Amino acid sequence: VDELRQALAAKEEHVLQLEQQLQQLREVSAVDRQADAPSEPVSRLQQEVLELRRARGEDAAALDEAQRALHEAERTEQRYLEVARENRKLRQDLSALEDEGFWQEIETLQQRNEQATSLVRESKEALERMAPAAAMDVTSLVARLEVFAAPAA
């Protein structure tokens, strides 16, 4: 990209020089000639200026394309880094799943949940038997215990 910018700047400088020469030749030709046809040096310089302008336009387009490609490469590199970070995190998560201690902890939690569910059922039944004798309204508590003790869908 920097090389293209330098080449474009050099061509622009050359175009300016040729335009100055062309202007000088026109001034000299206007004084020296009687005919309306431009002199050969003026025509040659006009053609060279046109070619350089065309080349400068092509270089500017190439520079724009190079800048777009550079930005695209930078975005691609950024996305690659994001994917690499995500990949590392997923690998860490996967290694945690492969850890035997993790699965033992899950089994322990499941066993404790089963014990808690059993204890809730027994407590619910005991409350239902004792509530009428104690003249207590435990319907709300019993309903919540039923929801807790219900099997997961």
DSSP 135: T
Give the pLDDT score at 72.
93
What is the secondary structure of 28-76 as a DSSP string? HHHHH--SSSPPHHHHHHHHHHHHHHHHHHHHHHHHHHHHHHHHHHHHH
pLDDT tens-place string over residues 93-143:
888 778 778 888 889 999 999 999 899 989 888 888 888 887 778 888 888
In the predicted model, is pLDDT for residue 37 greater than 70?
no
Q: How many angstroms separate the CA atoms of 25 and 20, rounded? A: 9
Averaged pLDDT score across all residues of the chain: 83
Q: Which residue has the higher pLDDT, 94 or 42?
A: 94
Give the pLDDT score at 73.
92
